[in-house]
Each structure stands twice: as C-alpha cells, then as structure tokens.
Structure 1
C-alpha cells in the first residue's frame, strides 16, 4: 500500500512539474510574441480605429490619452480622414461609453465631430474590431489603421486577421504612464484567452 501511495505521489509531483514547465514555456512564448511584434510601415487608409480603454470620471485615463494622442498624430499626418472610436461602458461608474469619452477628447483637440464615428457596444478587443468592421462595411470603407498600445498590438493584429480585415495595419504607442509589468502580465492572460476563444470559434463551439 505504501509503495502504491508513493508511486501515486511521484506521478502527481511529475505532472505538477510538467505543468509548471509548460506554463513557463507558454508565458515566455506569449511575451516574445507581444514584445517582438513588428507592424511595418503604416499605409494611408480609409479610417483609423482607436481601441478603447478606461475612462476616469468620464474622461480618458492617462493610458487612453496616449492612444488618442497617437491616433491624433496619425490623423494630422494624413494617414486617414476619419476615425472610429470603439468601446462600450466599462463598468467603473462612468456615465459615458469609452467611445463617447474618446470622441469628446478628440473634438477638444480639433478633430471635426462629423469625422468621428462611435462604436458604443464593445466590451472586448474582439468586439472592438468586429463591431468596427461592421461600421466600415456600412460606409463602404475597405482599409483601416488600428491604433492601440504596443503590448496590445499583437493580439489586435491577430484578431483583425481572424475576422477577415485584410487591409488593416496596426500602429502602436509606447506607454510612459502605465504600469507595464502589470499590463504585460494581464496581456499574457488575455492572449491565452483569445487563443482558446479562437480555437472554440474555429470548431463551432462559440
């Protein structure tokens, strides 16, 4: 009996070590994909898509302002003549959707209100891009520049390819205000969840 119990414990220990090693390998792989992502030169497009992030008291958080300022710089460079701002209510007691807060910020910076299109429903990066793609289709726009932070760019690019956005570049901002240790760790989990979701959608289970 003792021999069988010891053998069982050895197998449990081996499986635990194997699981830890596989988790470590996966974490390193995902972080490599995130940090090494290359997006190439951004071509002029029909529309820019700014992916949402948190509002603070109905104003863009410092991190979201970085995305918006980057999107604004591209707009002023003539990379696109209009923008879609994407994001719904983020559940932190804001009265405005992320999209509404982003539009207000860009209008204050001088972008004409009629050049900004709201996507008010998305609660994930997948929905950001899927719902923005529908706005593009409704308006006959074919090409887009997706604007986000660098740590988020690899997942955004993969999602865009998955949903069939064939003419979509990703242009990213580096952050000087966000806690990147926390955001990189969170993105590892988010990227893992996306890979699972993608697999489930491919086999028809989601």
Structure 2
C-alpha cells in the first residue's frame, strides 16, 4: 500500500511539474526565425472545423495560409500540407482545405493528409504524403502549448530540418485545460512511440501498428 501511495504522489508531482514547465514555456515563448527557402508549410489540426470556422483548427489554418502567401510573395514555392483525420470527406483536413481555397490558395499546391488521429500520426503521415524530397525547409504551424510535443513527434518521424510557428503568436492567453491535457499526453505519446518503434524494428508490419499511435 505504501508503494501505491508513493506512486500516486510521484504521478501528481510529475504532472504538476509538467504543467508548470509548459506554462513557463508558453509565457516566455519567442518565435524562431523561418529559414528559407521553404518547401512546405504543414498545418496541424486541433479538432473539427466548425460551421463558423472560429475554432483552433481554423485559426491554425489561417495562420498557415498567411505564411504561405508571405513566402510565395518572397519568391518561395511551398506546398501547403493540411493534416487532420476524421475520415473521407469529413476529415479535418478537408475542412481546412475549404478555408485555404476560400482564401485564394491554388488547389494544386494544397496537399491533404486526412488520415491522422494524433500528433504522432500527423508527423508520420505528413512525411509520407510529402515524400523524402521536399525542396527546401519545412515549417510546422500549431499553437504554443502544442509546439514541444509536435517538435518531438516530427523528430520521431525522422524529420529534422523544420521550424515550428505558433498560430497564437507570443501573447495570446493559453488555457490551463490545454496545458493539463499536454501533461497527460506527453507520457502517453512517449509510451506509444517507443512501443511502435520497437515493434517496427522487430519486423512487425507498420500498417498493423498504426492503432498504437492513433
């Protein structure tokens, strides 16, 4: 019983530390410079795109679209990769595509990744969709609270030449709910990524392991 109590105390302390570290991170966040030329702008979803297009996914998409036009006007020719699952025509990525098209992004530069159900799958499936020969640096658009886990996920998926851009800028308030959610998702994602990688290395077909990282 004493061991159980110690484990509970350890979990509570670890959770509190994770939340606190993330709070410090978002409060002191400074945007890293974007290296050019940029070959692709990847926008990560955060829930369905509602009818009013006012949720976090819509905000991230508009930030990605603005960045696409900024880079295009500067002479780059990036792809706009929209990543978010949900299934078929109802995927988050399809809703993101509608926002991008309405903003004037050419359809031929948009790449829809509509299978992912997690940040790990965002990273893995986006890499598969883009292939290994992106002509330039990679920019990933998400929110500040999500940047550390997104960075770790894309590194896990084998990518290194990228920078993350915060759709919520440097000053927008961040909800405690998001920070607490990240504190729970961090250890879960680590466990899932390690298990997926270990079984893949052991020869297990990756297609049969995708449920582990969803």
Question: After TM superposition, is the score higher than 0.5?
Answer: yes
TM-score, normalised via structure 1 length: 0.79
CA deviation vs aligned residue, 1:170-203 (integer Å, no higher than 9, x gap): 1112289998222222222111211111232343
Structure 1 unpaired stretches of 5+: 1-11
Counterpart selection for 1:88 from 85, 88, 92 = 85
2:70 is matched with which residue?
A: 77
Do residues 133 (structure 1) and 127 (structure 2) align? yes
Corresponding pairs, count: 191
Do residues 26 (structure 1) and 14 (structure 2) align? yes
* SS of match in other structure, 2:71: coil
| Residues 20-59 of structure 1 mapped to structure 2, 5 A cutoff | 20-35=8-23, 36=25, 40-44=32-36, 45-57=38-50
* SS of match in other structure, 2:34: coil
Structure 2 unpaired stretches of 5+: 201-208, 210-214
Q: Distance in 2 between matches of 1:134 and 1:144?
A: 14
Q: Distance in 1 between matches of 2:62 and 2:98?
A: 13
How far has the Cα of 1:141 moved from its partner? 4.1
Q: Distance in 1 between matches of 2:147 and 2:134?
A: 25
Do residues 170 (structure 1) and 164 (structure 2) align? yes
How far has the Cα of 1:149 moved from its partner? 0.9
2:113 is matched with which residue?
A: 119
CA deviation vs aligned residue, 1:9-33 (integer Å, no higher than 9, x gap): xxx2x33431232112321332245
Q: 1:96 to 1:191 in 2, by over 3 A?
A: same
Q: Distance in 1 between matches of 2:141 and 2:177?
A: 21
| Segment drifting more, 81-90 vs 179-188 | 179-188
1:8 is matched with which residue?
A: none
| Segment drifting more, 110-119 vs 79-88 | 79-88
* SS of match in other structure, 2:115: coil
Q: Is the 8 A contact 1:86 1:132 kept in 2?
A: yes
CA deviation vs aligned residue, 1:95-133 (integer Å, no higher than 9, x gap): 521111001001111211112111111111111111110
Q: 1:177 to 1:143 in 2, by over 3 A?
A: closer
How far has the Cα of 1:77 moved from its partner? 2.2
* SS of match in other structure, 2:181: helix
Q: Distance in 1 between matches of 2:91 and 2:52?
A: 10
How far has the Cα of 1:62 moved from its partner? 1.7
Q: Is the 8 A contact 2:22 2:145 kept in 1?
A: yes
How far has the Cα of 1:48 moved from its partner? 0.5
TM-score, normalised via structure 2 length: 0.76
